Amino acid sequence: MAQSLPGMKPRPDKALSLNMKLLSHHELAGFGGIGEGMGMQLAKDGRRILWMAHESAPKNFTAVDVTDPKNPKLVVQTELPHAKVRSNSLDVVGDVMAVAYQTSAVDTKPAGFDMFDISTPESPKLISHFDASGKHSRGVHAVWFVDGEYIHMASGAADFQPTHPSDDQFYRIIDVRKPSKPVEVGRWWMPGTRVGDSVPPPARHPKFDSGFRAHNTNVFPQRPDRAYIGYISGGAVVLDIADKSRPKLVSRWHYSPPYTGFTHTVLPLFGPELLIVSDECTYTDGKDWPKLVWVVDARMETNLVPISTCPLPPVQTFASNGGRFGAHNLHENLPVPGSWRSESIIVGTFFGGGVRAFDVSNPYRPEEIAYYVPPTPKLSKAGSIQLNDVYVDDRGLVFTVDRFAGGLYVLEMTV
Amino acid sequence: MPARSRDVLAGKLPISLITGFLGSGKTTLLKRLLRDPGMNRAAVIINELGEVGIDHELVANSSESMTLLSNGCLCCSVRTDLQETLRELFIKRRAGEVIDFDRVFIETTGLADPVPVLHTLQTDGMLGAQYRLDCVITLVDAVNGLRNLDDTPEAAKQAAVADRIVITKSDIAPPGAVAALEARLERMNPYAARRLAVNGEVDVAFLRDVGPRSTRAATADLDRWLSPSGEPPPAEGAYLGERVRAGVHDASIRSFCLWFDKPFTWDSFSAAVQVLTSLRGSDLLRVKGLVNVAGEPGPVLVQGAQHVFHPPVTLEAWGSEDRRSRIVFITRNLSRESIESLFAAVGTLSAPQG
């Protein structure tokens, strides 16, 4: 039984919920550690297949049939060639899937991304591999692939020597209109992060130096000439990509220090003219608290103004459970069939804080409207659940994954 | 297609208020509720923990003010006041320090006037954001109930504002007492569903999920909230009532439902409500209804007690053909005719003048 005594510690072995109901839980055949790549395929045979990239080796990606959300079924689970590579990120457009590969050390292969034909979900067929390995490159950390034509990604490159080893992954645009032959069409990096730049390298964060590099690189059909990039130590970056071969800086919102760095996702809400910016918590036990989801007024894109943050539950309670506690991935309103899209409800994962939904219809006062915090998975090395990523489908079902062991949780949101 | 914006009602934790005069059987009902398997995620706020005498084997954990039962039900006593207790419960729930209860039952003291409690739920900003009133449950005992309704204004108010009435002690009541009581209650408050319960035996389902819990609710569901038959609420209490000798106090309590064929503008509706609350707020024991406001996609849900109304909630759609506004009033010393004429006058004034 959960406890209720004043002064007693919370019990991370019990689920907590508000307006989210667990429909099913799938441990993914014992490999329940998922990264930050989730995509839904509406297969031609009518099935809904959820594709997930693993957080680390040995598994590459796993597909689960979630047509019946109460009865998810494993479709396929694939292997990585070795343990020094992780896939971490993937995206699905129709029957084509892009999967990222990042290595733990530079100059290691495979580092880049694969294109797969997943028209038969049980047997994904490799279409091509894009090599991004190099003497100073760890390959690709995150891909954004939503239009079937271009992959926007955080990647190193053979010809790119960073001024600091942590600044190796920058923004690259790859034309995959011919999926068998991906070709780079443009790139942007923060001035000063490449050897030979005319400006000096940026000043490092004194305490939480995570690197001036790209993380999520989002482009939406509503603004095909803009890329919204979480640039980790560099803050939130908006680029003009009207000419893909020459991306230009539009604006940068830089808030660390004094904050603790690691800008992860920049999600534009075009109707209300907001940017929802999420940090990533990367330290355990609350050491890098606060890691937040910010609401930024973007009416004037050259003057981004933060106006509020999404309220999180007390750090004293959750940080002491073990593992990380703070912001991470958001459901990114993917402009693909099957994805839920909302301009007022933001759904995100917060590691030990579970999956949480916020109403930002009053952007000055976001409200927490739903959450689910699963109990600590049995085999987890952290002391609590570590929800890593979330995908909301157009049925309003919330799919969320644990970073280490818990696998997939399927939830119904009742707000 | 799921909605892309929030359902403001679904996000709130429902509260059921349990009222009833001294000796009406609240403790017995609570004992029964606490043992119900369907109460596995409920929080129950009672006056005295010791009073309900929870079986030792049911208690999973306990402290001075809170007890967790082995069926998952959380039981706590009112601390300094109800407002504080509800706030503290929500904060502890969010911090994972208590179970993530999905509803709250509150026992009021036997002598309490329930209207100020309704008032509190409406005026406290934090409580209003996190909780919603699901229903008022009033226990009336078949032995003394009729006399209490006559002699005690609180008892009459408790019955008048109820959404659900549970008649207790029917097994030991003299012959005819239950029928007399039922007739009296029907006259006072025909809009509350009634059930008999012996030794607290009542279906938990009767006591919960009464009020509107989604902006996507069907109109039929809302009619069930306004009227026990599930039919649109009747315009007036049973005619029989007029011939029954009225008690000293509750003679002044009236309940009626006003129907309006034409849609309101929000300005005219709120103007009428403002006049009513400012002049006679203390005599509005309870108001609940669905209002057709021109330009809104669905009915606007209104609820109030005394001077205070909940923020109106617009439902997503009308679920039925009948789009007339329907508003149930429970009033004291305030006639149907005077409220009708007020709405008529405001309607005339706000209509475009030729």
Distances (CA, A) of A57 to A115, B137, B183: 19, 58, 74
A410: in domain: no
Cα B86 to Cα B77: distance, rounded to the nearest angstrom: 11
Q: Helical H runs in A266-332? A: 315-318
Read off the pLDDT of residues A19-46 as tens digits, 9 standing for 90 and up.
999 999 999 999 999 999 999 999 999 9
A154: in domain: yes
Residues in chain B: 354
Which of B78-99 are b and which e, b meaning 16 or more Cβ less than 10 Å from the residue's Cβ? Answer: beeebbebbbbbbebbbebbbb
pLDDT-based confidence at residue B223 (cuts at 50, 70, 90): confident
A333: in domain: no
User: Which chain B residues touch A4 with a CB distance below 8 Å?
Assistant: 61, 63, 66-68, 74, 76, 92, 97-99
B92 has a chain A CB within 8 A of its CB: yes
Give chain A's domain count: 1
Q: Compute the mean pLDDT over every residue in chain B, rounded to the nearest whole number.
A: 83
**Residue B196: partners with Cβ closer than 8 Å, 6 or more residues away:** B166, B167, B168, B170, B178
Lowest mean pLDDT among B51-65, B87-101, B164-178, B326-340: B51-65
Q: How far is B15 from chain A (nearest CA, A)?
A: 15
Read off the pLDDT of residues A139-172 as tens digits, 9 standing for 90 and up.
999 999 999 999 999 999 999 999 999 999 999 9
User: What class, spelled out in words, does domain B234-350 have in CATH?
Assistant: alpha beta
Q: Kindly give the interhelix angle for B114-123 and B153-160, rounded to the nearest 10 degrees.
A: 50
A86: in domain: yes
- Structure-token match 């929000």, residue found: B266
Read off the pLDDT of residues B155-201 as tens digits, 9 standing for 90 and up.
988 999 999 999 999 999 998 999 999 999 998 888 899 999 988 88
Residue B232, pLDDT score: 66
CATH 3.40.50.1980 fits B13-207, yes or no: no
Cis upstream peptide for A258 (omega within 30°): yes
Residue B50, pLDDT score: 63
- With a cut of 60, say whether residue B248 has pLDDT above it: no
Q: Do residues B289 and B326 lie in contact, with contact meaning Cβ atoms separated by under 8 Å?
A: yes
Q: Do residues B156 and B192 lie in contact, with contact meaning Cβ atoms separated by under 8 Å?
A: no
HSE toward the beta carbon, residue B325, CA cutoff 13 A? 22
Q: At A173, which CATH number?
A: 2.130.10.10
The whole domain housing A42 covers: 33-189+208-320
For chain A, which residues score pLDDT lower than 50? Answer: 1-8
Read off the pLDDT of residues B126-145 as tens digits, 9 standing for 90 and up.
888 899 999 999 999 999 99
What is the CA angle A360-A260-A388, rounded to 5? 60
Cα A259 to Cα A288: distance, rounded to the nearest angstrom: 9
Q: Where are the domains of chain B?
A: 13-207, 234-350
Q: How far is B93 from chain A (nearest CA, A)?
A: 8
Distances (CA, A) of A215 to A54, A284, B318: 17, 20, 46
Other C-beta atoms within 10 Å of A297: how many?
Answer: 17
User: Which chain A residues touch B70 with a CB distance below 8 Å?
Assistant: 1
Cis upstream peptide for A110 (omega within 30°): yes
pTM of the model: 0.85
A281: in domain: yes
Q: Compute the mean pLDDT over every residue in chain A, rounded to the nearest whole number.
A: 95
Percentage of residues of chain B with pLDDT beyond 70: 86
pLDDT-based confidence at residue B246 (cuts at 50, 70, 90): very low
Six-digit token string for A86: 């992780």
User: Which chain B residues touch A18 with a CB distance below 8 Å?
Assistant: 11, 93-94, 100
Read off the pLDDT of residues B46-69 as tens digits, 9 standing for 90 and up.
876 666 666 666 666 666 677 887
Please name the residue of chain B whose CA is at the shortest distance from the CA of residue A396: B2
User: Which of B100, B103, B313, B314 best probes binding to A when mutated, by most A CB atoms within 10 angstroms?
Assistant: B100
Residue B240, pLDDT score: 32
pLDDT-based confidence at residue B13 (cuts at 50, 70, 90): very high
Amino acid at A412: E
The distance of Cα A273 from the centroid of its chain, to the nearest Å, equals 22
Q: Do residues A184 and A172 lie in contact, with contact meaning Cβ atoms separated by under 8 Å?
A: yes
Which residues are paired to A42 by β-bridges?
A: A48
A355: in domain: no
